[in-house]
Chain A
Amino acid sequence: MIEDDILKDFLVEAKDGIAKMEEEFIELERDKNNVEILKSLFRTMHSLKGAAGFFGFKSLEGIAHFAEDILSKLRDGVIEASEDIVDILLKCLDEIKFIVAYLEESKTEPLDDRILEFLVNLSKFNDKLKKRIQEEKVEKVESAELKEEIAPKELEERSIGDQTLEEIKPSEAVEKTDLPVKPSPEEISERVKDDKPLPTPGIKELTETHIKVDVRLLDTLMNLAGELVLARNRVVQLANRLSDSDLQRSVQVLSMVTTELQETIMKTRMQPIGVVFNKFPRIVRDLAKSLNKRVNLHLEGTETELDRSIIEAIKDPLTHLVRNSIDHGIEAPEIRAQVGKSPEGNLFLRAYHEGGQVVIEIEDDGKGIDLEKIKRKAVEKGLVSPEEIDRLSEKEILSFIFKSGFSTAEKITQVSGRGVGMDVVKTNIEKLGGSIEINTILRKGTTVRVKIPLTLAIIPALIVTSNEQRYAIPQVNLKEIVSINPQKDILYLGESQFYRLRGEIIPILSLSNILDQNKTQEEHNLLILTTGERYYGLLVDRIYDSEEIVVKPLGKWFKGIPLYSGATIMGDGKLALILDIVGLSKFVGLKAEEVERALEEKQIKTITEETQFILLFDVEDTTLALPLALISRLDKIRGDKIEIVGGKEIILYKNKVIPVIRLENYLPIQGVLPQEEYSVLFFSEREKTCAIICSRIVDTIETSLQVETDLYVQPGILGYRIINNKTVLFLDIYKIIEMYDPEWFTVKSLEREGPTNILLAEDSPFFQNMISNYLTQGGFHVEIAPNGEEALKKLKAGFKPDLIISDIEMPVMDGFEFIKELRSQNEFRDIPVMVLTSLTGEDIRRKVFELGANAYEVKLERERVLSAIEKLLEKKLNRAMVL
């Protein structure tokens, strides 16, 4: 519950305040006119009153209120701190102490007549004071003229120096009249009559639950614990060598106690990041107000713990980043409304653990960073040449932000944009051993991700060796250890090594390889490491124990090496380097240039955008594939339902006679053996339906239609491809049906004079075959070009098609460019162009028509494609006649 937490905090604070006030009262007795002390007393009392008011502790609030009132008079010098005043103030403090102690025990205020009486007394005393002041004033009026010159000045200073004075005044006026626990007048008068001396509060000591400790003391403790761990490690090693069982036992105890001690000391240094985050509601609110913006703040992961020293150091950079987000990121409410966002911006502060590091994210849903603007600025500032700028990646462009003196803010505001800042932020974070990264989406928002090491000064680590040199690997990054046979278990892809771990292929590195050492022995031990995002393996010579190590920072000459994150002193006094697992992971995988080279050599036609759902099915032991879009229906039928009528196999399906096609009759594959039940694929085209029999349906997958065409040159087969370790044949359904019944597709077609030529620009061999097949069936002559450029070449070489059909996604020159090129040249301007694509979408459609295409069809719709072709050709004919 929040309340409990808050109450606890309030009590801690109240106790701190009481202790402080006690000291100050003692000080005050020595020096009655010390304004500084009076001011401090007043402030403490005031905040105590405020907090008590929020919790509704009325008597506490009442006492604090009167005490504060008296203190304010002392502070302003209206009255002197006479004996009786200090006396009553001390009594107040006693009562407050009593109430707080009671609160801690029972969480409610004590219902004590004595306190009520004390309050009445206090109120009377206060009235008396007021009267006394008035009397003094009257006396002073005559002598006031002398003082007048100084007075206004004094007043001014006061109002500037002490703002709490102003804060309190308006409410004071009200509270004086109706104090929460004001007893009825009768009660007062009754008590006044009695006027018996007040009993002193029952002495109740406040139990201390928190004490303040000098941070340096904790730091020293931490260092000592580190040394102790080192000494312990040494002793453990020695004891192991001596193998004396008594010694071993006591060393074990020592070892355990040391670990516990060190963990406990570590805890004193860990603080939740909420300590920093909690400052931000106020910062955000004030900033938003001064910039006339509305900002909602989300704090997430406030419980994430970090080393105290890091918490301190991260405060300023974070504040700067938050300021940036609000000033540059989040738009003014009117602008947000215009672009369809809610007028209130959202700012997220988020912290979480990731692979032994703490990640802090500052995210806003503002306008994002305009990369173009940064590019311009970078060129303007001469940081990069205009030619170079276009080659830079988004990340590289964003990194300009961290350059000193770089600011894109058009006007310099009070908040940010002074050209200093982001570079300082970066240096500060890097000083902590952290890193900073910006992700931005224009018009959507920006995320700044700060990664900081936990810097647990002492961490558990695994000690390994490579060439007799020891290295430490932080235990958090280690997942498991596998013993392997390098000859058998390592898989190679070119130079890169992989290992199969329970069906997963993971890349592996050899430590000796990375350190550029000669392999002296086979590395049998494979460590499976994780960076938090990805797994990889590391081969090492030997594995030692797991040990607690004390992290020592590396000197600056080691800073640039990504392999090491620190060093440590081992039990024998020698040094070991700590491996940086994230840094190591950069060696995993092939370098970008390597990939490109490999791609060039292989010349793989990647058409990643063009994916289709493919149905995989078996005809006995052969796996075949068909685009799912071509199949109108899937079903199962019983074997005895297949009848032979007039020498042809048919089935009765939904009151229709449907001819059955057996693929083995047309392809060199083993036929379907008699089964009780067959899977049937139905294929419909203009009211005609036929059924294809297969043994079973395997799967449907979404994949690109890349096929190899070299092995199976066979009518009815478009190509093959390996899917899930099996060769899959891609079926040309149109060809098969044509083989089954050459008349199947024949429709009464227009009388054409001479053959009609079609130029087909299409990169995928699968579609090349399929489309050209059904076009040829339709009586067209088809010329194929693998991309726009090739098609243009063909045109220029003198090929005169009646129609051009073009795909959009093609390598070298895509469809858009091809059409643009066509329409810009006089001789080709009048050739009708049909765009045939698997990309659908209104914007694409619009774009192709804008460029000058005459039709737009989807690849697998054979029927529509054919009729669209007829229409285009007809139009062309008509136009020719008109001319």
Chain B
Amino acid sequence: MMKILSFNNKEEIKAFFRQKVKELHPDKGGCIEKYLILQNWYKQALEQFRNENKIKISKISDRYVGYGNSFYKTQKFTIKELALGLEKELTLPLKENPCPYCEGSGINKHSLKKTCSYCHGEGILKLVSGNEEVIHNCTFCAGVGYINIERCSHCFGKGKIKEEIPLKIKLPFGLRQGDILCISGETMGVCWNFYIEVEVEPHPFWRLEGDNLICEVKVPFYEILLRDTLEVETLEGIERVPTGYFADGEPVVFTGRGPFLSDESRLRRGDLIVNLKTLFPKTLSLEAETLLYNFKNLIERERLC
């Protein structure tokens, strides 16, 4: 049976299912067992895609930010996370709860109280109507005699508090500095959308440039000649590159080893471009200089030969 993940969307699964049904349906002379397996697989596949689609994430232009209620934050991402579209845990206000400190009333019950100005703190109103006296529970302070004047300091009197909950999302491909991720609140069950601006965490020797990942390798000049290979950190890990590749001074390009570019064509990737930066000592001892001079002569002589 096909692996579910090799499909990009529901439509493709449906199409595949329909095609297979034509072959396997018992009415068409197919094997019942195989047909049932197909049915089962189809159910699972749809379920899986439903879960995946639950969180709706899209990349949008910042001109379209802020439709309706929204939550906006900037989030740091590493270059690796962006380039490979990894999973990232974000902490987002995904729930709104009644404030636990004031039980949703918005009032600080344990603080300053003002004597109720209607009943003078008695909790009851002794009213006179004609000659009759009517005693009534004070309606302004609900009979307690005082009014809380301080707002709850946890929810600032709103009675509600947004709760921050960690959420794992799979990053779409092709995110760059300043891009904005939009997570639709509808799919998260809240009435605000989430906008997350991408901030790229600076990396000591990587940077994203257009579709490509640029990697700078700093090596002392003599090491280039002495070593057979140089260690280059690629997105997939450390790799050894023959030093000879850098001989003509041009950057070495690893085609298709850069960041993934877009969700539509998952196979397209940018390039990894390795720039070699040579390091050299600021001063040389006399001995080293002599040796180096000899070395230079030797090289030139060899070339002449």
Task: Tell me the A residues contacting B by CB distance below 8 Å.
Answer: 1-3, 5-6, 9-10, 50-51, 54, 56, 170-171, 173-175, 178, 274, 277-278, 280-282, 284-285, 288, 294-303, 342, 344, 363, 439, 441, 444-445, 447, 487-493, 498, 500, 504-507, 589-590, 592, 595, 598-599, 602, 604, 606, 608, 703-704, 722, 724-725
Contacts and interface: CB of A to CB of B under 8 A. Distances in A.
A604 B145 CA distance: 12
Nearest to B182: A2
B218 to A, nearest CB: 23
Given A174-B212, A281-B195, A299 B63 contact: no
A288 B199 CA distance: 13
A54 B61 CA distance: 6
Interface stretch (B126-134, B238-246, B280-288, B290-298): B126-134
Contact of A2 (B61, B67, B144, B210): B67
B139 A604 contact: no
Nearest to A363: B156
Given A54-B59, A599-B121, A303 B68 contact: yes
A439 B68 contact: no
Contacts of B73: 295-297, 344
8 contacts: A51-B61, A274-B68, A285-B74, A298-B72, A302-B67, A363-B156, A590-B117, A606-B145
Contact of A171 (B127, B144, B157, B210): B210
Given A602-B120, A604-B120, 10 more contacts: A10-B64, A54-B61, A281-B70, A294-B74, A441-B156, A444-B156, A447-B156, A491-B129, A590-B117, A722-B135
B148 to A, nearest CB: 11
A604 B153 CA distance: 31
A6 B67 contact: yes
Given A9-B64, A447-B156, A608-B113, A299 B210 contact: no
Contact of A608 (B65, B124, B145, B211): B145
B72 A297 contact: yes
A342 B93 CA distance: 13
A223 B154 CA distance: 47
Given A51-B63, A274-B67, A299-B192, A598 B135 contact: no
Contacts of A592: 117
Contact of B117 (A282, A445, A498, A595): A595
B64 A301 contact: no
Given A170-B210, A171-B210, A599-B120, A5 B61 contact: no
B118 A297 contact: no
B138 A298 contact: no
A491 B144 CA distance: 21
B72 A281 contact: yes
B80 interface: no
Residue with the highest number of chain A CB atoms closer than 10 Å, among B63, B130, B137, B154: B63
B235 to A, nearest CB: 18
A170 B139 contact: no
B233 interface: no
Contacts of B130: 487-488
B60 A299 contact: no
B124 A491 contact: no
Nearest to A496: B118
Contacts of A488: 129-130
B69 A299 contact: yes
Contact of A439 (B93, B146, B151, B184): B151
Which 3 A/B pairs are nearest by Cβ-Cβ distance? Answer: A174-B210, A491-B127, A278-B66
A282 B127 contact: no
A804 to B, nearest CB: 29
B65 A298 contact: no
A441 B115 contact: no
B54 to A, nearest CB: 15
Contacts of A724: 137
Nearest to B196: A296
A445 B63 contact: no
Contact of B71 (A50, A298, A505): A298
Contact of A498 (B60, B113, B125, B137): B125
Contacts of B122: 604
A656 B93 CA distance: 58
Contact of A278 (B65, B146, B210): B65
B60 A490 contact: no
Given A170-B210, A282-B62, A608-B145, A493 B135 contact: no
Nearest to A277: B66
Contact of A493 (B125, B146, B151): B125
A500 B134 CA distance: 11
A444 B108 CA distance: 14
A368 to B, nearest CB: 9
Contacts of A505: 125, 127, 136, 138-140
B300 interface: no
A329 to B, nearest CB: 12
A297 B93 CA distance: 11
B160 to A, nearest CB: 10
B139 A506 contact: yes
Contacts of B144: 703
Contact of B65 (A281, A296, A303, A344): A281
B126 A493 contact: yes
Given A285-B197, A439-B151, A447-B156, A493 B67 contact: no
A576 B125 CA distance: 37
B76 to A, nearest CB: 9
A6 B64 contact: yes
A604 B125 contact: no
Contacts of B146: 608
A444 B150 CA distance: 13
Contacts of B126: 493
B190 to A, nearest CB: 11
Contact of B58 (A3, A281, A297, A506): A3
